[in-house]
Structure 1
Amino acid sequence: MITINNYEEFEAYLGKDLGSSDWHKITQEQINKFADATLDHQWIHTNPEKAATESPFKTTIAHGYLTLSLIPYLWKQIVSIQNLKMEINYGVEKLRFAQAVTVNSEVRLVVKLVSIANLRGITKANIGISLEIKDQKKPALTGEVVFLYHFN
């Protein structure tokens, strides 16, 4: 894990691969809880019996936004940002859902620092992301997440 304490330490990683998270298994229970939280109970996510016969994947799949919502959790396995007053999820750019994540698949985050800027004392970091699926060539999603860090 990389530990970053200030803007200068963060900036030293510009253009560099920062690493990857642990693998995280997507379970049907997690999918169902996400469906409850978002009110998106489409059968392709929540009905294993119907998905087995009618889905092209022959099983349920995770919501695309469920996979996206894992980014902050997985990011914190790769980089520890210390000495903060506050951090903000600021945006997502160039997001593409490249492949469905079937139930019981494992995913991990691979990241790179694409750009960093000091905005009057606030650090804006664009992190290139790829959410890989174990034993698959195509990732679940790619893009950039943007975080704002207010260092002490």
Structure 2
Amino acid sequence: MGMDMKSKIGKPLGTSRWFDVEQALVTQFSASTLDNDPMHLDPEWAKANTPFGGTVAAGFWTTSMLITMSHDIGFIDAFGESEGGAWYALNYGFNHMRLITPVPVGKRIRAHMGLRDFEDRGDGKFLLTIDVEVEIEGEAKPALVAEWLAMIVRS
């Protein structure tokens, strides 16, 4: 296991499909986090009072989409297939994360991920450090760049 993953350090893990940034999803996220900011919820207010031309997704919504995008790429799912047995992945946090460009509702986003590092932590635990860039369709600058940490645990 360790040697196989170590050979992938510095290489792309993949690119997710495009995901639509829909107002209903942004509204649901805002409700679940008790965030009533009109910048995320009120298109007319956002058009009149921000430079974005309408509502934008919360930065934490974009961040939360990393899970879905990683499953779409499939590298964490493939980890379990190559190892066999029961396993699970935990979001372990970030070494670094920046929200570069607000994501307008109505746009599409996708993630590019690469393996920065792999560490065998013993006791069936493996720490992956993943380079992430979330692209906004048609925008020059990314929505998000990060060093994301995932702990893979075999039970």
* Of 123, 148, 152, the match for 1:149: 152
Partner of 1:98: 100
Residue correspondence of structure 1 range 35-54 to structure 2 within 5 A: 35-54=30-49
Partner of 1:86: 88
| Bigger share in helix | 2
| TM-score calculated relative to the size of structure 2 | 0.90
CA RMSD for the aligned pairs? 1.3
What SS does the aligned partner of 1:70 have? Answer: helix
Amino acid in the other structure paired with 2:13: L
Amino acid in the other structure paired with 2:150: F
What SS does the aligned partner of 1:131 have? Answer: strand
Q: What runs of 5+ residues in structure 1 fail to find an aligned partner?
A: 1-5
Distance in 2 (CA, whole Å) between partners of 1:148 and 1:17 is: 19
1:117 to 2:116 alignment: no
- My pick for the range that moved more, 119-128 or 64-73, is 119-128
Partner of 1:136: 139
What SS does the aligned partner of 2:60 have? Answer: helix
Distance in 1 (CA, whole Å) between partners of 2:49 and 2:22 is: 20
Partner of 2:54: 59
Amino acid in the other structure paired with 1:34: F
Runs of 4+ in 1 over 3 A off after TM superposition: none
Amino acid in the other structure paired with 1:21: S
| Bigger share in strand | 1
1:8 to 2:3 alignment: yes
Aligned length: 147
Deviation at 1:24, TM superposition (A): 0.1
What SS does the aligned partner of 1:96 have? Answer: strand
Distance in 2 (CA, whole Å) between partners of 1:8 and 1:139 is: 32
Distance in 1 (CA, whole Å) between partners of 2:72 and 2:30 is: 25
- My pick for the range that moved more, 62-71 or 85-94, is 85-94
Deviation at 1:130, TM superposition (A): 0.3
Partner of 1:3: none
Q: What runs of 5+ residues in structure 2 fail to find an aligned partner?
A: none
